[in-house]
Structures are given as C-alpha cells and as structure tokens.
Structure 1
C-alpha cells in the first residue's frame, strides 16, 4: 500500500513539474493582468430649459458612494438674473437634496462643484433647481442621461482602462502594467502622451498631443484616482469622432517609447 502511495506521489510530482516548466520558461509570453482597477459606474446628464441649459452633469458611483455635479450651467433668460443677485443651485435626487458651491464665470455662466455622498441609494429622478434668492424666482430643470463613450486599449504588458469621452471632453482613467517590477529595474520615470489623429492627414505630423502626464512609474501606473483628470478641448474638437491613442515613454538609461491605439468599447447610458 505504501509502495502504491509513493508511486502516486511520484507521478503527481512529475505532472506538476511538466505543468510548471513551460510557465517558468515562457513567463514573458503570458499576460497576467493582476493589477486590475475597479470599474466604477459613471453617467453624464444634461438639461434643456427655455431659461437655462445644464451640460456635463456627472454622476459617478465609486468606493466613496456617489459623486455628483461638476456641471456647467448657462442661464439664457436675461430677465432671470441681474448684477448683484444671489444665485443658489441645488441637486434634487429622489428625496435627497444637495446644495452646490458655485464657481461664477460671468453673470450667465456657472460651474457646479462635485459633491460626495455615502448614503445615496439608487437614482431614479434627477433635477437641478436654480434659485435667485434676491428675486425669489426659481427654475427646475429635469436632467436626462446623455451618451458617454468608454475607450480602452492594450498590448502585451500594458492596459489602458476607463477613458470616458463626452463631446469635446475626456476623463482619464488608469494605465495598468502587468509586470511593473520588471520595468522598474530598467526605467525610473514614465511620460504618457494622449493624442488624436488629424482627420484625413497624410503628413508625418498627423497626430495632435492634447495632454501629457509625467511622473515616476509608481505614480502613473497601476493607480486609480477618484479625482479624475478632466481635459476639455475646444468646442469644435469632438473626440468621439477621432482616432485616439496614447504614447508611453519609459525613461531610463535608454528610453523606450511605444503607442497603444484606443478603441470604443461601448456607450454608457444611465
């Protein structure tokens, strides 16, 4: 009986060695994405009203709960507001209300701050209330979900995730590296160039770099920030209509640069 057990053990060890050998010798040919970041639910809302317009109202569900706001509000009715009037804006979500801190661009244009709430449940109805506290006038603007494009891209060792594109704006996500410790042996810093291809361009200067990130490998790679970087382009540059890509430049004794094309994976709707 003991002899049989020893035989079984020997066979098991032999089979294990057969399985481990190709994994150990061909490790670099396997892509293990062990540094996946959590995908959060994000929606973009807009509101149309005869007297005002709300654009790029963001609603994000993450580990903090909900983040809401960061919208641009344009008051179109000149009779609603006058110099010196005090304006208040409140988000009404089902039975919850959140008063925003406003950044005033001019008399008719305002930016909402981003509010975080841990206790907000499901979102069924979303309204922005604009109140002129000086005159007592109030506008209630229902907000509706808008199309939001999500982009991703990857090669053998690097994965680009959660780039959100809406019209002429993009929110940057994360860049994951499967074998980060190996890269850190040769390179110290990394530079990321976000770019789009000029439509119908045939020259060598066919790409426009619209944003750069620079830092150490630990600062840039395998890192997700809830305070996402929001890049706004000129109004006539609609990013969802352009070919997007990034260039990763690893800086060390001998720099290494390569590009990753980004592709639209789906359209997120609330």
Structure 2
C-alpha cells in the first residue's frame, strides 16, 4: 500500500505540474495575442500602379492607378515643363489619358503662372484597372494660347517598379508605403494603444531619405521628403495621405528611408513625444 500511495502522489504531482505549465502557456498566448495580431496584420490594397514618361518638353511623374478597399482612383501625377515659355499665364492645357478598354480620361487646367509645375487631381470612380489595361498607355498634352493650339504631343507612359515598405515597433506600425525610384506614396499609421488619439490629439509624420548607408539611423543624415500634419484620429483612420516626388541623383531604392513620428498633446506642444520608424522593403514587383 505504501508503494501504491507513493506512486499516486507522484502521478498527482506530475498532473499538477502539467496543469500549471499548460495554464502558463495558455495565459502567455492570450496576453500576447493582440501584440501578435498587431504586428502581423496588414491592410490589403487590391492594386497599386505607377507610370512615368519624359520627352524633351515634359516630365510626367507619379501617374497612379490604384484600388484601396472600395475606392478606385487614378491621377495624382506631377507634370513638369522642361523648356522655357512652354507654358504662360492664362494658357489652357488639356491632358488626355488613353488606355486600353477604357474611355479617355480628360482634365483641363487653367495655367496660373509661367512655366507652372502642374499636379493632376486624383480622380475616383468605378473603373477597375488591370495590368493589361496599362500595357499601352498614352498621355496627350495640348496647350492653347488665346484659343489657338500651340502644342499638341503624345507621350508613351511606362509602368515603374514599385516596392512596398513597412515598419513596426512594439507599439506602432506603418504599412503600405509605396515607392518607385523617384516617387513615394505615404502609408497607413496604426497603434496598439486604443487611447492614443486621446493622449496625443495631434501628430506629424515626416518621411525622410538618406544616401548614407549607415546601420544605425542618424537623423542628421536624412532629408525631409514628405511632411504630413493633422489630427491623430485622422491618421489612425487612414484619412491623411501624401505624395512625394524625388528629383535628386540616384534612386530611392538605393537609399535608406525612415519616418519621424511626432505625437503632440496640443498643436503647439513644446515637449512632444518623438520617435523614428525605419522603413524596410517587403515586396518588389512591376507596378
């Protein structure tokens, strides 16, 4: 009987120990689940394309086609005149995009200044674009001066390679930052802190680039590329977005990119909470 009692006691000890270990594992998984979800979740963007063209007179950068959730859009391009007197104040410029399987997209712009750099408006609608639609895209530019056509040329648009960048620490993430060699579309900021907007109602996001290939982020080596400021709630709801165009030497693909996040208790907060999120590419493909 003594031996049997000892065996029963040992079995009970093993069962209790197993139960304690199981409880510990389950509790750990429970408390870390939200953190796991926070760092592995990424918003799905149905597609993102970016087109570019240049001839002797014009540079067209960042003409995008995208679907994000239920929203389809196109435009946002920057048109830079490369020749003097190409545009004069009060000229009328018509930009017509021709692409396969779609009606032409037309925008008319009244020129406000000589040699004005133009930013096309972002257009949204029901059009869904595929890679086949973008295989032979033509952009026609016509300039009228005093109702007389003085320029009418068509440029062939080329799809650019796109990289998707992301960043995260234990409390914050930045996802869906889209980058070509000379263009950047800002991403989606999120936080594990559900009361962040109450603690810090305002915030600034600076997108930075550096040609230095340092392992550690030294903010003094970086140049500001895109500046966004607004209400924290709007950032968290993905309602703040910006586009940046890079005109320097080299490619953004070869540079270090990062974001400086500034959280503020008021718009003129003299002691904000500031931290850096280095951006890293997670995907490369033809846009």
User: Which runs of no fewer than 5 residues in structure 2 stay unpaired?
Assistant: 1-18
* Structure 1 position 188, deviation (Å): 4.7
The answer for the alignment partner of 2:62 in structure 1 is 56
The answer for the alignment partner of 1:219 in structure 2 is 234
Distance (Å, rounded) in 2 between the aligned partners of 1:85 and 1:257: 45
SS at match of 2:37: coil
Residue 240 in 1 paired to residue 253 in 2?
A: yes
Going from structure 1 to structure 2, the CA distance change for 1:237 and 1:228 (only over 3 Å counts) comes to farther
SS at match of 1:235: coil
* Structure 1 position 127, deviation (Å): 1.1
1:41/1:61 contact within 8 Å kept = yes
Distance (Å, rounded) in 2 between the aligned partners of 1:165 and 1:113: 20
Partner deviation per Cα, 1:35-77 (whole Å, 9 max, x = no partner): 7433242222122446644332222223222323523153659
SS at match of 1:240: helix
* Structure 1 position 173, deviation (Å): 1.1
The answer for the alignment partner of 1:166 in structure 2 is 180
**Structure with higher helix content:** 2
Distance (Å, rounded) in 1 between the aligned partners of 2:169 and 2:154: 47
The answer for the alignment partner of 1:265 in structure 2 is 282
* Structure 1 position 185, deviation (Å): 7.0
Partner deviation per Cα, 1:219-240 (whole Å, 9 max, x = no partner): 323x323x73113455348533
Residue 116 in 1 paired to residue 116 in 2?
A: no
Going from structure 1 to structure 2, the CA distance change for 1:28 and 1:190 (only over 3 Å counts) comes to farther
The answer for the alignment partner of 1:66 in structure 2 is 73
Going from structure 1 to structure 2, the CA distance change for 1:251 and 1:135 (only over 3 Å counts) comes to closer
1:59-208 correspondence to structure 2 within 5 Å: 59-62=65-68, 63-74=70-81, 86-94=92-100, 95-102=102-109, 104=111, 106-107=114-115, 110-122=118-130, 123-124=133-134, 125-132=136-143, 134-135=148-149, 138-177=152-191, 179-181=192-194, 183=196, 187-197=200-210, 199=212, 205-208=220-223
Aligned residues: 251
Distance (Å, rounded) in 2 between the aligned partners of 1:120 and 1:46: 20
If asked which structure has higher relative contact order (CA below 8 Å, sep 6+), I would say 1
SS at match of 1:106: coil
TM-score using structure 2 length: 0.67
Distance (Å, rounded) in 2 between the aligned partners of 1:51 and 1:255: 46
1:89/1:100 contact within 8 Å kept = yes
| Root-mean-square deviation over aligned CA pairs | 4.0
Distance (Å, rounded) in 2 between the aligned partners of 1:102 and 1:197: 35
Structure number with bigger Rg: 2
